[in-house]
Chain A
């Protein structure tokens, strides 16, 4: 009998293909290129002096500032690539086809999750390339804080993992493939933004630890402040993002295994 690992790879490959053959991949790529490329082009037109006067003389401040968009991009990416990962089996008749195959559902889910993470991080990398281009063009290649940028990329990958888990879990609560996508964007971009603001104002920012948006700050602050970054401290941000990844992925798995066609 074929190993789970081989079936995981088939699931991963199929999911990556599904992204490439559908519009969403190209929409996200378009957003990444538009935002990243737009910023780079606009700043290039404005010139080095303008960038220095607005971002300072330090490449770290520039790169960190440009990556301030990262939580928005991570949410959109996670929602698009994870928002229908589970509901697609039950909202359409694809489930009758896939789930009757001799493959464990957890293996199918793992393959889809890995594919979503791989493609999302790939998209993410495009934005980092634009940030590196800007850092090199407006400052110098050597002035970019490479170690911190590497850490930032790893944190960004963890952020995407957390958001994907969240989107997977939401997609398991509905049979409509669109619901998971829309809910992820509304909850993370609107509800969390409002709730975080209210909680921080009336109770204090230390109570916003439920929010992955709050945690996402470390992706950019690690570039400017390194390991001493605060609000939140790196470890707090990492724990929140890891908790989202594990908790919501576990919820997704439980719901997926219980769901019936």
Chain B
């Protein structure tokens, strides 16, 4: 069963802390999204996990093998795309993939068959063309193909769809959805919709610190316990309802002429009282927990990590 673990992983550049005591462990198949703004520490983490950098403290383990002390064995069953790697520009796509196959000890026949499979699945550019003459997106697809070539059990991807057009993104996303059924994928991305669609879990990181590590579903649920969406049969302004429930809520926001989002901070009794007062204020069509997209959770978390305690963190 594939496993991936960071133990007190820390990276400092002088006084700057790029990664501060990161800890996580994942085992078994699935996909984990690694989210954070630019400079948050995402790529640093992925570099440390793939032996492209060495930690100041702590260690990274891939399938139980320490990346720093035995990189060859640790990376043996791992395919990765970190930053936007550039294969040798003088090599053709075919030779680029064959070289990786040779370095990974794949039998020639298996490699040839796999290259054909990947060329079809990823719609690779003509493989007899030198990679230096390919577009960024075409090169990125060659690099992704190289990462998947040996059919590794762990796949580490740093913004894998960056530079790809929408159709290429869909193709990669579909492949990831297929792969995550029996492989472990750790991927950073700026595209929260992509993470929502592909990943089962998400890690939020900012200023080098991991803020949250949970399932995508749970992250949304944490926020829904704090807000309700109320829909009235007739128009209802936030200013009209506000005075009636003021002491119970933190804020009221109009979503439409008839729909309001009430942030009450959680609590069943408070929620029941808000419902009672809303019904008294006008005919209520629906009263339900607010749904929060991963994007909204991300924005909440990143906003607060710059200015205060984490509203999504569990007590």
Contacts and interface: CB of A to CB of B under 8 A. Distances in A.
Nearest to B102: A10
A93 B54 contact: no
13 contacts: A1-B76, A1-B105, A2-B105, A6-B105, A18-B88, A95-B52, A96-B82, A99-B51, A100-B75, A102-B103, A103-B72, A258-B54, A260-B52
A14 B54 contact: no
A10 B52 CA distance: 20
A97 B103 contact: no
Given A102-B72, A102-B73, A102-B75, A97 B85 contact: yes
A2 B87 contact: no
Interface of A: 1-2, 6-7, 10, 14, 17-18, 21-22, 92-97, 99-104, 258, 260-261
Contact of B104 (A95, A102, A261): A102
Nearest to B101: A10
B72 A97 contact: no
B103 A96 contact: no
Most buried by A among B72, B95, B104: B72
Contact of A97 (B47, B86, B95): B86
Contacts of B47: 260-261
A104 B99 CA distance: 15
B53 A260 contact: yes
Contact of A93 (B50, B71, B83, B102): B83
Contact of A94 (B54, B86, B103): B86
Contacts of B102: 6, 10
Contacts of A258: 54
B29 interface: no
Contacts, number: 81
B85 A100 contact: yes
Contact of A99 (B52, B78, B95, B104): B52
A101 B80 CA distance: 8
Interface in B42-56: 47, 50-54
Q: Do most interface residues of chain B lie in helix, strand or loop, or is the interface mixed?
A: loop
Contact of B50 (A6, A7, A100, A103): A100
Interface residues of B, number: 32
Contacts of A21: 90-91
- Which 4 A-B residue pairs are closest in the complex by CB-CB distance? A2-B105, A96-B85, A97-B85, A21-B90
Contacts of A6: 102, 105
B78 A102 contact: yes
Given A2-B103, A100-B50, A100-B82, 13 more contacts: A1-B105, A7-B103, A14-B88, A14-B99, A18-B88, A93-B86, A94-B87, A95-B52, A96-B52, A96-B84, A97-B146, A102-B71, A102-B76
Contacts of B100: 101
A61 B84 CA distance: 57
Contacts of B99: 10, 14
Contacts of B80: 100
A94 B75 contact: no
B136 to A, nearest CB: 11
A2 B104 contact: yes
A101 B85 contact: no
B90 A18 contact: yes
B157 to A, nearest CB: 11
Nearest to B44: A260
Interface string B90-115: 11000100011011110000000000
Contacts of A17: 90-91, 95
Contacts of B95: 17
A261 B53 contact: yes
Nearest to A97: B85
A101 B103 contact: yes
